[in-house]
Structure 1
Amino acid sequence: MDGVTVTGVRGHARIVARADGRGGTALPVLDGEGPLAPRRTRSTGPGAKVMVVGAMSGPLGGDRFTLSARLEEGARLHVGSAAATLALPGQTKDAARYDVRLDVADGAELHWLPEQLIAAEGSDLYVTTRAELAAGARLVLREEQVLGRTGEQPGRLTSRLTVRIAGRTVLDQELSCGPGAPGGWDGPAVLAGYRAVGQLVVVRPRFARSPVPAQVLGEGAALVPLAGPAVLVSAVAPDALRLRRLLDEASARLD
């Protein structure tokens, strides 16, 4: 049962989007339990827009959060968050966990664009994002992680991102940073001393016909085509503002 336990908080938010038959998108399921509160906001286009609001601070040590979104055929959905997610140390030494599950049907389009995840000093968080897409689905997914607030040491952050299209895995990567992470995470082959890291995954059926070539996108960012109608942009930066600019510039190139 969701709620507060001796080892932390349990919370689960669910979103289901469905084409309404009139050119728009309905949200037959939009609910949250514990600290996750999804809210529908005004949208200027045919799709629906949802903001996820944190009803309390966290995740803290021992917390378990799950956020799931399912788009049925023809639905269009934009999901963001009202503020950055701040991982903090808790009363327990257990790691916190935040799992995101995305399911996008044929002809549906999801823009998953939350604000940054900040790993504060002393925190320990394991994040997983798993996207399952049908062959004709479209996706824009952005992840941004910042190691520590201004002037503090980073917390421990492990992030795994998996994308599957038509049952085939096109991306499965994991990055672990901060105290206790495998050696070399802050070296030139990984973060090179930077404290902000991000990924942008764009899935478009047209990429199967016209693949996007690999390219360097300025200092700290690179685009790599995936084994499917998808591309991955990876970026590192000294701060969250510069990271967002890099990913926004990459997104504009791929529109």
Structure 2
Amino acid sequence: MTGGVAARARITATREGLAVLSGEGPLAPRRTRAADGGLRVTLVGAMSGPLGGDRLAVEVDVRAGARLTVDAAAATVALPGPAGGAARYDVRLTVAAGAVLYWLPGPLVSAAKSVLVLRTEAELAEGARLVLREEAVLGRHGEAPGTLTSRLSVRYAGVPLLDQETASGPGAAPGWDGGAVLGGHRAVGQLLCVDPEFAEKPVAARPLGDTAALMPLAGPGALATAVADDGLGLRRALDAGLAALGG
């Protein structure tokens, strides 16, 4: 896979502030005002991407005692590149003991004929907290979806907490759009909350409407998953999950 852009963004948050804030190519992190007294960084798309053949990476390191929110100015749209081939987007999150990270990157739109492999890895120390939201919209209005493979791996205190992979679009395993998976819906997402308190007081499993559910994990975490007809419906379902966890 050649002809794509290779770019990386790095964010390091400490008690004192942002020690590192850098980006390349389409990845342009900008410091913005936080409403909760912590630190906030907004990812701004400096150019179209990811395109087929691109290699993008975001590395976030939240040091002990820091509180960081990372969000996005707009949706990310995966597009086919002129050279063809798959794009890769790697996200690496590291959260120290006593630190808090809100990873809220905004929706990912899988445009027709695009191929994207998204890998998110989170390494949490004991006593770390994380809120992570992933939203995928399969195709723009009136078009077929591209091929999207997304894997999320989370470790807490050195022990696996969650490791799952989903695939949709042309090339995915048969049945990806069937009744047992998406059931014809065009938006799918999840909200992961990791908090040491969940180890002692696990979240009760419950439905969140007709196409979403909240469930406890085998460890200090809870996971809300949802499908919806569009991105707005998906966001509402995941917001309901966050509200059920106390916001």
SS of aligned partner of 2:23: strand
Give 1:15's aligned residue. Answer: 11
Q: How many residues align?
A: 246
Query: Which TM-score applies when normalising by structure 1?
Result: 0.95
Q: 1:30 matched to which residue of 2?
A: 21
Residue aligned with 1:246, SS: helix
Question: What is the CA RMSD across the aligned residues, in angstroms?
Answer: 1.0
1:149-188 to 2 correspondence within 5 Å? 149-188=140-179
Tell me what 2:46 maps to.
55
Could you tell me how far 1:93 is from its partner in structure 2? 2.3
Further displaced range: 99-108 or 210-219: 210-219
Residues 1:98 and 2:89 are matched in the alignment: yes
Question: Which letter does structure 2 place at the counterpart of 1:249?
Answer: A
Q: Does 1:77 align with 2:68?
A: yes
Structural mapping, 1:95-134, within 5 Å: 95-134=86-125
Change (3 A) 1:71 1:177: same
Residues 1:200 and 2:191 aligned together: yes
How many angstroms does 1:33 deviate by? 1.2
Tell me how far apart the structure 1 counterparts of residues 159 and 205 of structure 2 sit (CA, whole Å).
21
Structure 1's consecutive aligned runs of 4 or more residues displaced over 6 angstroms after TM superposition are none
Q: CA deviation at 1:180?
A: 1.1
Matched with 1:148 is 139
Aligned to 1:240: 231
Q: Deviations over 1:29-64 (max 9, x none)?
A: 000011101000112332101000111001010000
* Structure 2 Cα separation of the partners of residues 92 and 126 of structure 1: 16
The CA deviation string for residues 207-234 of structure 1, in whole angstroms up to 9 with x for no partner, is: 1111111111111101121111001111
Query: CA distance change for structure 1 residues 6 and 209 in 2, over 3 Å: closer, same or farther?
Result: closer
Tell me the secondary structure at the aligned position of residue 8 of structure 1: coil
Give 1:186's aligned amino acid.
Answer: D
CA distance in 2, matches of 1:172, 1:62: 25
**Counterpart code for 2:228:** A
Give the aligned residue type for 2:152: L
Structure 2, unpaired ranges of 5+:
none
Partner in structure 1 of residue 208 of structure 2: 217
Any idea what SS the aligned residue of 1:241 has?
A: helix
3-state SS, counterpart of residue 30 of structure 1: strand
How many angstroms apart in 1 are the aligned matches of 2:227 and 2:62? 31
Structure 2 Cα separation of the partners of residues 70 and 220 of structure 1: 34
Q: CA deviation at 1:28?
A: 0.7
Picking from 68, 80, 85, the partner of 1:89 is: 80
Report the CA distance between 1:250 and its aligned residue. Answer: 0.8
Q: Does 2:59 align with 1:68? A: yes
